[in-house]
Structure 1
């Protein structure tokens, strides 16, 4: 029994070390981002004498609620008409096809170079659609917007000039905004997490000269960069991250613009959020499997290799936290049964110390996004965000492990509902990604009870060290389970 108890402690400690390593890289990125903000953003470059040709690609698949909104927003882009080409890469199989055809015809009649591009099949999913569209374009720059985005009219005029200054600039990525952040608790927590990535992480990596990633939308590529890096590949669920690493390993530079915002819609239902999270976490694991060795063997500086390693492995944090969570409940009893191990077991009680750097990271982003909000709001938002993130660890850890195993999955796009602020509703919407009340969801409900048992055990035995951890896990898994029940309608 002693061997088993020591094994539990070692496993917990190793996972804690990995989480701490990830937290420390986020701390370093926060410092880099804060320094960049203090120094001030460089002035935007002057407009080129001759604006280059740009193709705007809009990959769609059954987006009846948002297709027209997207097309109209891109048709309103302030750019020389003769140099602008809009491709609606429409793989739809429902009435979206007719809606797109009508809007395309309307804007063609107004003199815009816009076309609806239909493929024979969906081979390669989004990556295949983007690659197919390139074969029907001669533009030197390519802007990409997913169906849930509503770009501002000046988007191209604020991004394209950067390509004139540096021939090896491959991508200009902008910050995502949120059309429906205040719609529900679920959307507010998503915005909280995404703001940290866009306000801090992307800027910190860029300011430190480290690899960043094109976020799949809301950015502009140099066509020659795409081609030089080998084009779009469909062997991962994150074709954006995959191409980003291939391009940067080839010596192309990326530039991030935190002051240029591309508004988008956040998933409002749990099945949509889980679909998105599955794609992002599994795709990141697949990309790590594909590129981590190449990164470590490259001639990049050690600091860039280190940041790239944690960048590619960031979805593995869900696996580490899940293992820690499962092991932590028995550890409460180990401490009570083996008092001679108390000096060692105190390590298990410092769980929150691994998350201190994350407080700095998320608070910096939160304050940038909400400069006048009272600080108590951050405490509430952060604890809820952390709890729900923990409640998704089972779902996301499964996706990560499937990615590392090389198990192929279909590209399930995130359903969009056309929500803005608090307007609109999700009930009765046709696009679903699966049954929310499956075996995985019932397991999440059981885990909520399991960690509630951990809370009770800690209180009964007078062991308060892991109580905050177990409370957050109970709340997180409980929220995920309850939203699953609510959103099955």
Structure 2
């Protein structure tokens, strides 16, 4: 019974952690709905008044972006801002032929009168954080706008974001990500679904009540003095944006999130690219939990509720580990339930935690209808998308759990940037991209084995116990079977 007891204790802890996270999401939903009724009364610069126009530096941190550099630079060159008050820094750590192509394009733009500089480094130390820090040394702007290579802001983007810096306590203005290729494939649809939940429910829900949010690494603006005051960019985690965000807010800088300003970007279209991005984000989240948790808890400047939301925010990626634990142990739990009759009341109590799924379902529906609209047809679409998203998200849980564990134990790894493809329509192809690696992750084999394992879970529902089976976990195991099957076969067939 010792073995069974250990399984029950670990399973219970993981499922309770998921429940607490769901309750936090529900609180963010209430915050979000309240925020929709409030009017924005923030003071704003009048950019028609030359005396109120701050100098802005746009930083473009790039590394081997052959397919999107020309698109990026052409787009940034069209951004509107009062003359003489804007400079552009291309922070180029590239090591391939794109370096020369970028230099030629910058020379062309400079000839057109653009204040644009090509800043290169021989040492890629600190990765993206190092490049941003290097550019900051010579940046003329008091405000620093940052865009990754796959982002294409509208030409009025600065005119809609910079005015909010009239409030001298504002250190960051962050905008919502849009998705240029949302409907390219099922993979891009589920990525968009997850990001939309973050950029509506979570960012608004936290920001509207003064809880900590994060600069998302791109499509936002920093006050230069805020960066310096918070300790500048540091490259000791894989999510330097989350790190600096927390250090700045612990210094009492305020963040402003603009849900109504959408900045379009390209989603990864190949599962290997999505895997590398997910690994970096989830490992970086765990690294920042190690780095920031005690600073948040010991801070005397923030409320207890903000501390709770802050810790749960830093634990976001760790939810994948809890989900993976619940998934793997659910099959032994099925057999334990039918073997030990005296534990029936424990399982009655544990069934309550199914409400976590209901909470997520309700929360994400409000996000979905905000972006896509409501009505019966949309609700049916949402049901399909919700369970598809949950299934595939669980299919990534092994991959993401490894990232989380590495982050928590302090294992260091290189910053692996996500390959870009310059894909907008269904006609565009990712094949032939020179930045894709042909090597399969060893994790793919285990994901295939987990697909078979949860297939066994489906079979177990019919044969367990002496009452003709137990189908309580059948839907859960079906979603896991589909999710791991999708990730496994997609990884094999993509061959990248």
Q: TM-score interval w.r.t. the shorter chain?
A: over 0.9
In the other structure, the counterpart of 1:10 is: 9
Moved over 6 A (4+): none
Contact 1:351 1:469 in 2 (8 A): no
Q: Distance in 1 between matches of 2:275 and 2:185?
A: 16
From 137, 140, 150, give the equivalent of 1:138.
140
In the other structure, the counterpart of 2:343 is: 341
In structure 1, runs of 5+ residues without a counterpart are none
Q: Distance in 2 between matches of 1:156 and 1:422?
A: 31
Q: Distance in 2 between matches of 1:389 and 1:70?
A: 30
SS in 1 for 2:263: strand
The CA RMSD measured in Å over matched residues stands at 1.4
In the other structure, the counterpart of 1:394 is: 398
What TM-score does the superposition give when structure 1 sets the normalisation length? 0.97
Q: What pairs up with 1:123-202 in 2 under 5 angstroms?
A: 123-164=125-166, 166-202=167-203
From 446, 456, 468, give the equivalent of 1:443.
446
Task: Measure how far apart 1:368 and its partner are.
Answer: 0.6
Q: What pairs up with 1:52-67 in 2 under 5 angstroms?
A: 52-67=54-69
Task: Measure how far apart 1:329 and its partner are.
Answer: 0.6
From 474, 478, 488, give the equivalent of 1:467.
474
Number of equivalences: 486
SS in 1 for 2:183: helix
Moved more, 152-161 or 39-48: 39-48
Task: Measure how far apart 1:423 and its partner are.
Answer: 3.6
Cα shift readout 1:316-371 (whole Å, capped 9, x = no counterpart): 10111111111111111112221222221234544532222111221111111101
Q: Distance in 2 between matches of 1:469 and 1:111?
A: 59
From 478, 481, 484, give the equivalent of 2:488.
481
In structure 2, relative to structure 1, the CA distance for the partners of 1:353 and 1:433 (3 Å cut) is farther
Task: Measure how far apart 1:68 and its partner are.
Answer: 0.9
From 325, 328, 331, give the equivalent of 1:329.
331
Q: Distance in 2 between matches of 1:41 and 1:52?
A: 22
What TM-score does the superposition give when structure 2 sets the normalisation length? 0.96
Cα shift readout 1:390-438 (whole Å, capped 9, x = no counterpart): 01110001001100111111000000100113241111211125623x3
Q: Distance in 2 between matches of 1:286 and 1:148?
A: 25
SS in 2 for 1:25: helix
Q: Distance in 2 between matches of 1:207 and 1:216?
A: 20
Task: Measure how far apart 1:464 and its partner are.
Answer: 1.5
Contact 1:350 1:465 in 2 (8 A): no
Cα shift readout 1:230-287 (whole Å, capped 9, x = no counterpart): 0000000000000000000001000000000110000001110011001100001101
Contact 2:146 2:219 in 1 (8 A): yes
In structure 2, relative to structure 1, the CA distance for the partners of 1:389 and 1:175 (3 Å cut) is same
Task: Measure how far apart 1:42 and its partner are.
Answer: 4.5
Contact 1:55 1:85 in 2 (8 A): yes
In structure 2, runs of 5+ residues without a counterpart are none
Q: Distance in 1 between matches of 2:439 and 2:83?
A: 45
SS in 1 for 2:37: helix
Contact 1:75 1:112 in 2 (8 A): yes
From 303, 311, 314, give the equivalent of 2:313.
311
Q: What pairs up with 1:320-469 in 2 under 5 angstroms?
A: 320-372=322-374, 374-433=378-437, 435-436=439-440, 438-461=441-464, 462-469=469-476
In the other structure, the counterpart of 1:75 is: 77
